[in-house]
Structure 1
Amino acid sequence: MPMLLGSKGSDVLSWRASTELLAGLKDALTRHWEQSPVHSAESLLEQFIAALDQELAFDKRLETARAALERDLEAAATAADLLLAAGRFRDAITRHFKRRRSVLALCGLCNTLHDLLVSRAVTLVQERLSASGRAGAPPCALLVAGDRGRGESTLFSRNRYYLLHDGAPRLNQFRDQLEGLFQELGLVDPERPLWHGSLREWQAQFELVPAPSVPPPQEEFLAALPPFAAPNKSTAPVRAERDWLIGLADLGYLWGSEQLASPTLEAAAAALAAERDSEWFLQYARRGISQPLGVGRFGRWRLERSGERRALLDLKRYALDPVQGTLRILALAAGSTRTGSVARLTFLLERGILDVDLAGRLLNGYQCIMQLKVLLEIRGARNGLFLNPEEFSDETETRFRAALEAVLGLQKLGYQFLIGPV
């Protein structure tokens, strides 16, 4: 069965999976036909059809269960009810992933679960305000950046939420209750509070921050560059206080007034476009695409050296962040407004920035890294994604090393694209 059987739409990963399925079937039939012209090939085809019927029946059962789970979420009256329904939904998603290993299907289901949770949470807050005799929510819009903003939600993703309003004073009651409910549901944490403000306050964030009068030490900037980086040609300071702006490249509309959401998204996109050719963006890009990978010198794993995670590999820091971050930077530099990592990869391929070979290796590599992330979440990872390479099978180690090699190729290409040959 293909990795992404049952996925819908015209995504490049769906095309790839379908092509691999048909190519594999053709090769198998050819081999059996050469050995036994009739009986062997017929038997293989019957087995394939039976297996396909089983997989389609599995998909049908999932759709039935999904419809029932969505009804449970929509009927939930408390945060506890929502958490129980969400837990059952995640169990169904987990069963599907264990059988299919489909990252595309899992992200689609997790996106649906996330949006249903948010929608029901908003409705519950509105119902509480109305029941207490207070006015409901004023015109506002909720936006999200992070995993959901890229359309890459997994079982336990991290996001940042932005609540835009029209300046109405009664927003405070709605905002406070919504943020409290989001915290109960595990959607936000103290490190990433719910941002709120008017459209004017939102636009004011993008005004240029004066550069400090004293630049950082030269050697500090040089130390951040990888061996193949170009020599430093400027002493302009790195405006680290604007690095958060890059995260808005993953911003997307979630709920509420589209009249408020549209100019909000446009303001963020305009700010990113204005910075694209700046010295700050170039310096950020250099640092962003030079993130270390999970394999160090001489092919050794880059492991934690001390603490309770000693001898473990940080998947997020040394694999997931580098591939997502480099694709984001390259897509921004090339003028793309797409948010998903695969969509960005496809854009770079279409523009001729990526060649077909590297794009194919990156697709496979990204699938491998995301699969490892989901498997860690299934095993209970909540406060970090740490792998034990000693537990890798030979196949997993080969795939993961190939994934990191593809990301390294992407980083080198990023330097050539942004800086030029070095």
Structure 2
Amino acid sequence: MTLNPGFIDSQATVFDATLLMTRLGYHHLPVIDEERVVGIITASDLMLAKKNDPVYLVQHISRQSDVAGLSAVAEKLPNLLVEWVGAQTRARQISHIFTAISDAITTRLIELAIEKFGAAPVPFCWLGFGSQARGEQLLGADQDNGLLISNQMTETDKAWFEKLATYVCDGLNACGYVYCPGKVMATTDEWRQSLSGWQHTIDRWTRSPTPDAVMRVSIFFDLRAVYGDESLCQQLQGYMLRQASKNSIFLAALAANVLEHTPPIGIFRRFLVERNGEHRDTLDLKKRGVMPIIDMVRIHSLANGLPQVNTHERIAELVRQKVLAIADGRNLEDAFDYLMQLRVSEQVKQLTRGDQVSNYYNPNNLPELGRKHLRDAFTVIHDAQEAVRLNYRSGL
């Protein structure tokens, strides 16, 4: 028996307990609340807690030897979301964690593919688009990815990259990142090209901004290197920014797309909710709230040739460049954070009830102050869209 054993307060963190037990060499530690023993924490408890740590998860993913192992890790994400929100983790941090996990799964799938098919014949870069590129993924994200390949690629080399794309996209689907309904994936020829091929595609999109081209551009212009030769991604992004920033007709077409999704608030600041169907009395927080902010910040960034991709980083740079006033930048950030937090909180409630995760939300579930904050967020979006209308629609 240990005389005068150490102890830890019940309000201490898991990190505190780990540090103390390591220093003292203990495998068991009494937990004290107001000078009374209320429990015992063990080394096994700390190991279990560590499994929910994002750093541990990413390391654990890197050690998986097959798709089944990766899928087993991914299956834990809904429960982990509930735990992280319960621990008061903010939506911004949660989205960064989810993105880091999807990056790690993608990277491991590529490594497994290389083990299976052999080394890549020429340099390449696996691209993440959309929310993965921005570092803003949440639960239920589908795939948006592509392959950027060195111009050294020959016709013979193409078969290797097609096999890579199929293996990785199938693996991602098995891990819960479902196939993109619009086929924005490396398995599609248009989203698996050489650097020069991608440059020609950008030229076509910007010269003839059809509705389909604008939709694809809105996904593509948020891009980031997930694996491989990052210099290829930098070259492509630089070319894209040069082509987009000088083309007023293209920016006007992009602005028209941005203005299609207006915030769901009407006269006297009343919420505009769905009137029938399975989503009756609800509104889509992502489509009518989060995405308009992302789209507006993107078009300002493209017009000014800014390389940032994350929405917060874009807003900060737009303020530094005096494209946005300080107050306008803060308002957009606050609105974005509030809507993301509301999405995460509602997703946790849906998971707890056993419902399918969605972005629909009934504003009547909010207290009066919460409804005021939601109205304020939608008003910020409305005002910012008016600025987009004034700045870019004249190009048509």
TM-score class normalised by the smaller sequence: 0.7 to 0.9
CA drift of 1:351 comes to 2.6
Q: Quick one: which of 367, 374, 378 aligns to 2:344?
A: 374
Question: Alpha carbons of 1:67 and 1:203: their partners in 2 closer, same or farther (altered >3 Å)?
Answer: closer
Matched residue, 2:303: 333
CA drift of 1:414 comes to 2.6
CA drift of 1:137 comes to 3.4
* Structure 2 residue 386 is the aligned partner of structure 1 residue 395: no
Matched residue, 1:68: 56
CA drift of 1:123 comes to 1.7
- Say whether the 8 Å CA contact 2:141–2:178 is kept in structure 1: no
Q: Which amino acid aligns with 1:271?
A: Q
Q: TM-score, normalised by structure 2?
A: 0.75
- Say whether the 8 Å CA contact 1:156–1:377 is kept in structure 2: no
Q: Which amino acid aligns with 2:174?
A: E
Name the SS of the counterpart of 2:144 in structure 1: strand
CA drift of 1:80 comes to 2.5
Matched residue, 1:305: 275
Alignment deviations for residues 318-374 of structure 1 (CA, whole Å, 9 cap, x no partner): 111111111111222233221111112112222333333333222221111001222
Distance 2:205 2:100 in 1: 38
Matched residue, 2:326: 356
Q: Which amino acid aligns with 1:97?
A: V
Matched residue, 2:387: 413
Question: Alpha carbons of 1:299 and 1:148: their partners in 2 closer, same or farther (altered >3 Å)?
Answer: same
Matched residue, 2:166: 176
Matched residue, 1:324: 294
Name the SS of the counterpart of 1:298 in structure 2: helix
CA drift of 1:302 comes to 1.5
Q: Which amino acid aligns with 2:172?
A: F
Q: Quick one: which of 84, 93, 98 aligns to 1:105?
A: 93
CA drift of 1:99 comes to 2.4
Distance 1:58 1:323 in 2: 42
- Say whether the 8 Å CA contact 2:264–2:378 is kept in structure 1: yes
* Structure 2 residue 192 is the aligned partner of structure 1 residue 208: no
Alignment deviations for residues 271-312 of structure 1 (CA, whole Å, 9 cap, x no partner): 32343x2x2321331441353112122322221222222222
CA drift of 1:252 comes to 0.8
- Say whether the 8 Å CA contact 1:294–1:315 is kept in structure 2: no
- Say whether the 8 Å CA contact 1:294–1:318 is kept in structure 2: yes
- Say whether the 8 Å CA contact 1:66–1:89 is kept in structure 2: no
* Structure 2 residue 271 is the aligned partner of structure 1 residue 288: no
Distance 1:196 1:145 in 2: 13
Matched residue, 1:240: 211
CA drift of 1:115 comes to 1.2
Distance 2:18 2:319 in 1: 32
Question: Alpha carbons of 1:280 and 1:95: their partners in 2 closer, same or farther (altered >3 Å)?
Answer: same
* Structure 2 residue 148 is the aligned partner of structure 1 residue 164: yes
Alignment deviations for residues 14-45 of structure 1 (CA, whole Å, 9 cap, x no partner): xxxxxxxxxxxxxxxxxxxxxxxxxxxxxxxx
Distance 2:125 2:337 in 1: 33
Question: Alpha carbons of 1:376 and 1:54: their partners in 2 closer, same or farther (altered >3 Å)?
Answer: same
- Say whether the 8 Å CA contact 1:245–1:272 is kept in structure 2: no
- Say whether the 8 Å CA contact 1:342–1:363 is kept in structure 2: yes
- Say whether the 8 Å CA contact 1:74–1:116 is kept in structure 2: yes
Alignment RMSD (CA, Å):
3.1
In the TM superposition, 1:257-276 aligns within 5 A as: 257-275=229-247
Distance 1:51 1:268 in 2: 54
Q: Which amino acid aligns with 1:300?
A: R
- Say whether the 8 Å CA contact 2:290–2:339 is kept in structure 1: yes
Name the SS of the counterpart of 2:271 in structure 1: coil
- Say whether the 8 Å CA contact 1:164–1:199 is kept in structure 2: yes
Matched residue, 2:132: 148
Alignment deviations for residues 32-62 of structure 1 (CA, whole Å, 9 cap, x no partner): xxxxxxxxxxxxxxxxxx9996597599977
Question: Alpha carbons of 1:55 and 1:293: their partners in 2 closer, same or farther (altered >3 Å)?
Answer: farther
Query: Kindly, what percent of the aligned residue pairs are identical?
Result: 18
Question: Alpha carbons of 1:270 and 1:351: their partners in 2 closer, same or farther (altered >3 Å)?
Answer: closer
- Say whether the 8 Å CA contact 2:242–2:305 is kept in structure 1: no
Distance 1:327 1:377 in 2: 25
Give the unaligned 5+ runs of structure 1.
Answer: 1-49, 130-134, 213-237
Q: Quick one: which of 339, 343, 349 aligns to 2:313?
A: 343
Question: Alpha carbons of 1:86 and 1:357: their partners in 2 closer, same or farther (altered >3 Å)?
Answer: same
Alignment deviations for residues 203-253 of structure 1 (CA, whole Å, 9 cap, x no partner): 2212336989xxxxxxxxxxxxxxxxxxxxxxxxx6324202233221111
CA drift of 1:93 comes to 4.5
Distance 1:329 1:58 in 2: 48
- Say whether the 8 Å CA contact 1:73–1:86 is kept in structure 2: no
Distance 1:112 1:63 in 2: 17
Distance 1:240 1:286 in 2: 10
Q: TM-score, normalised by structure 1?
A: 0.71
1 or 2 for the larger relative contact order (CA 8 Å, sep ≥6)? 2
Question: Alpha carbons of 1:274 and 1:246: their partners in 2 closer, same or farther (altered >3 Å)?
Answer: farther
Q: Which amino acid aligns with 1:288?
A: V
